[in-house]
Amino acid sequence: MKKLDQIVKGLNKTEARDKISKMIQYGTRFLTWYYQKLNKLEKADQFNNLFMAMREARKIFRLAKTLNEIQYILEKIKENSENQNDIIRALKIFSRIWYALFWAFDNISILSQIQIIQSNPQVLHKIAMTFWTVGIITNLAESFRDLIRNLYQLKKISKSTDSKEIHRRININYLNILKNLCDLLLAGTGSELFLKIFLFEPNGALVGLGGFIAGAIAAYQAF
């Protein structure tokens, strides 16, 4: 019963439900690639349908997500910054600005796809992915900086309880770095930046695997 309570509580939060849907979305992307490789086209087609249905549903359900970022940015700006590292605070704010723009263009892209507004959805999607890429890189910069600071602190402290707390923060840093690297695979592919900079386009398997892992970590954090 406790497990059921935990699952239901998690699923009742938009973020958790979205991240589980992300796991299904990219898991099916991987399976589509897998069954195509085995020439099982009917199964590949089934999983591709699920992938596309999940992708569209998630885009619809994140309409107005920019509001979350605006709220976070306003709170960070008003925050008492005495005990805060200024560079990390600035990186956090910038990261959310890029994410706010990502959600905005992502929303406009789906609205133009269903012909509510007259625009090219592919172009808007590419712009959205580009802002997502910049947001992820900013996140990574902030996570790495925070990780280095925590590792230095770990060397200095003597108390066991402080050590536990810093270990916990370091684990969070590692999880966030892994999640962001996996997301970078998706964003870099969608914005075509990997193709332009590294002349390399990750295939369906890599994108599927990356998205699945990012979704799993985000779902764990959201629950």
Partner 1 sequence: MKNLEQIIKCFNKTEGRDKISKMIQYGAKFLSWYFQKFNNLEKAHQFNNLFMAMREARKIFRLAKTLNEIQYIFYKIKENTENVNDIIRVLKIFSRIWFALFWAFDNLSILSQIQIIQSNPKVLGKIAMSFWAVGIITNLTETFRDLIGNLLYLRKVQKQTDHKEIQKRINVNYLNIIKNLCDLLLAGTGSELFSKIFFYQPNDALVGFGGFIAGIIATYQAI
Confirm or reject binding of residue 144 to partner 1 (CB under 8 A): no
What is the biggest distance separating any 2 CA atoms in the chain, rounded to whole angstroms? 62
Taking contact as CB under 8 A, which single stretch among the options 13-21, 95-103, 148-156, 194-202 is the one that binds partner 1?
13-21
Whole-number minimum distance, CB 212 to partner 1, in Å?
17
In the structure encoding, which two tokens stand for residue 188, read together? 């870099």
In the structure encoding, which two tokens stand for residue 1, read together? 């019963």
For 159-215, the DSSP string reads -HHHHHHHHHHHHHHHHHHHHHHHHHHHHHHHTTHHHHHHS----HHHHHHHHHHHH
Residue type, 11: L
Name residues contacting partner 1, limited to 70-109 (CB under 8 A).
Answer: 70-71, 74
Q: How far is CA 184 from CA 173, 180, 192, in A?
A: 16, 6, 11
For partner 1, which residue of 37, 40, 41, 49 counts as binding (CB under 8 A)? Answer: 49
In the structure encoding, which two tokens stand for residue 150, read together? 């925590």
Confirm or reject binding of residue 45 to partner 1 (CB under 8 A): yes
Nearest residue (CB) to partner 1, 33 versus 194: 33
Residues in the chain: 223
For partner 1, which residue of 23, 31, 44, 54 counts as binding (CB under 8 A)? Answer: 54
Report how many residues bind partner 1 under the rule CB under 8 A: 33
For partner 1, which residue of 57, 77, 151, 195 counts as binding (CB under 8 A)? Answer: 57
Whole-number minimum distance, CB 54 to partner 1, in Å?
6
For 128-151, the DSSP string reads HHHHHHHHHHHHHHHHHHHHHHHH
Confirm or reject binding of residue 13 to partner 1 (CB under 8 A): yes
CA angle 108, 109, 112 (to 5 degrees): 85
For partner 1, which residue of 34, 61, 144, 223 counts as binding (CB under 8 A)? Answer: 61
Confirm or reject binding of residue 17 to partner 1 (CB under 8 A): yes
Confirm or reject binding of residue 50 to partner 1 (CB under 8 A): yes
Q: Which residues bind partner 1 (CB under 8 A)?
A: 1, 4-5, 7-8, 11-15, 17, 21, 45-46, 49-50, 53-54, 56-57, 60-61, 64-65, 67-68, 70-71, 74, 110, 114-116
